[in-house]
Amino acid sequence: MLSTRTATSCGVLASQRTSAQILKAFSGLPSSTNFSTRPAYIVVHKLQLSNPHRNFSTTPAPRIKEFFPPPETDNVRETPPAWPHPIYTEEQMNAVTIAHREAKNWSDWVALAAVRVLRTGLDFASGYKHDKAVALSKTDPAAANRKYAMTERKYMIRNIFLESVAGVPGMVAGMLRHLHSMRRMRRDNGWIETLLEESFNERMHLLTFLKMAEPGWFMRLMVLGAQGVFFNAMFVAYLISPRTCHRFVGYLEEEAVMTYTREIKDLEAGKLPLWEKTMAPEIAVKYWNMPEGKRTMRDLLLYIRADEAKHREVNHTLGNLDQRNDPNPYVSTYKDLSKPHPTKGIEHLKPIGWEREDVL
């Protein structure tokens, strides 16, 4: 969702009528503009068919300024991603499904409980009430849709908040394993690269969404607070139990796959009409090597969901291994290449991870 966010320090918005009066005070906005209000800021949405890369902006095209444009230098033409993305086929991405690994021990239960707490906060921040919507739809579908329906704006808030948090664990784990390797003067067995690459991939998800919606000060403040708390919590937790942390990320990615699957279904059902006309930004086209004719918002969500499914598999797999001694199966070379084995792609995707005896 491409939007121009007009921040305002109006204090407490007393009512929707007061909000409407404030919105009417803006001059020069056509009647087709769609307004949304939230505490401490006002969001203005408008479809721009003339420019497929900024579909929900009210800023006139000549005045649009690109959010975080690439730096221009005399000699450097382009800086490609440090980790090229593997190629996904449409068949592989469509095969991604929602899955859940059952908790088997205290470590798993702690990780699952932590994800549920985090999800509660994320649901509150994004206005996401899927469980209540499902329960009400069984008796009154119209009321459920009217009261709990997710919009492009709500989904975008959820996506940005989710990705700003999802990029933290890989960086924390990679950093700690890097320091541990130097401190103990021993090899890491290939874990660091995969963890940092995962963090890089999640950051690319965030940058892609930021090309489509620039957050206001309230959203930035929420992200700042969440990142500060989450980074320090992950830092301490990984020192105590790396296995629990990897299981936690595996469960977190299960939630991410679930969220993107619901977004895709809502988009296909016609519930997100603005996204039907939205094209993937250039940063996404280059990163995922999206082919011509497959660069819509639906295609973008398929790629991101596939990435999350891969992270789900990777972290559940790492959670099954000996954290100190086992090699990373995702950068290892196998003796028998005819047998399915972990790879960087999704050709042998295991939703609940590979068991240790299957890879080692």
Q: Point out the annotated binding site.
A: 163, 202, 205, 253, 308, 311
306 with 96: CB under 8 angstroms?
yes
How far, in Å, are 58, 125, 133, 159, 166 from residue 6 at the CA level? 10, 19, 30, 20, 27
Of the candidates 330, 336, 261, the residue with the CA atom closest to the CA atom of residue 298:
261
How far, in Å, are 36, 194, 213, 243 from residue 106 at the CA level? 44, 26, 40, 11
Which residues, 6+ apart, have CB-to-CB distance to 144 below 8 Å?
133, 134, 136, 137
Of the candidates 128, 143, 136, the residue with the CA atom closest to the CA atom of residue 262:
128
Distance (Å, whole) CA 234 – CA 247? 12
Which three-class secondary structure state does DSSP give residue 128?
coil
Burial of 142 per CB tally in 10 Å (0-12, 13-18, 19+): exposed
Residue ranges for the known binding site for Fe cation are 163, 202, 205, 253, 308, 311
Q: What tokens does 190 get?
A: 């290939």
Which three-class secondary structure state does DSSP give residue 18?
helix
Distance (Å, whole) CA 255 – CA 308? 9
Which three-class secondary structure state does DSSP give residue 79?
coil
